Structure 1
């Protein structure tokens, strides 16, 4: 799809007008965490599957292998990853949920961001699935280290996502997004 600067800037203005004109619902923390847990669920699922497969393959071969220690080791990394996801997503999800859903569906900026988020998320999941397979193949208890892979891959994906979307965010679009953030969270404009 051909995207021009004027299309993006008009769409950003449309987002601003929709937020200013509607009595948007302020999202609760539960609504925001629902979105974060959708992403986090894939992380937990892959980690649990990797640990269970690792335990199934290697527990009989190694006398001192402990599923409990693997769960603790994996649990620590999962808590760290959850913290990283909260830092990366909380404010952005909060901002997005304040924009009415029908407006988000029609918005070109939202469609571009959503498509890029999905593609990067699929890439991160595929990458970590491959890493989990390699770690399981390498030997017992390596699957517990999958959290480090998630940490690194999420960091790299967020930087790549920023670079890939930066070309769409012209100075005028960024000014409009700042205005949207001021409308939605007036406390930020007071603190500046």
Structure 2
């Protein structure tokens, strides 16, 4: 995985199985996985783009202190935004329903930020922005989606890698970014840091 004789080591600052699966598509298996424990509350008047970038950066820095190996730390954060409004991660059905009702028939943005912290303390960052539009959702469609449980813990109350993809009428940008890790940007960061990728 390295361009030098001494292999580069990588810690993924996320417990998300989706991010590990996406990273594997680049042929990368992290040497360690540590979930970042940070306050994810948006700051007052914080814009979605700034929030996503701050979260990725803070997750990377938080995991550095807890890392059991020396090497790079990769962190990411995905934010669903309707205009300037940051939608929450849906932890209950009522929140997921409100998100889906808001997104029904309208275009929204998914901002997926990544940060790679090097052993020397330098930080590389990238941001993917994807426009997504849902069809106009009927009450029955929303209820059926909520019954699937796929929305649990998901930003904006949906997971595009599941049945929600059948409700998306249009998408422009990075599909992998909407899932949780923009592969084009991630590959560019890892290549720039010296990881040998195909």
Q: TM-score, normalised by structure 2?
A: 0.26
Q: TM-score, normalised by structure 1?
A: 0.27
Greater helix proportion: 1
Higher relative contact order (CA 8 A, sep 6+): 1
| Max Rg structure | 1
Greater strand proportion: 2
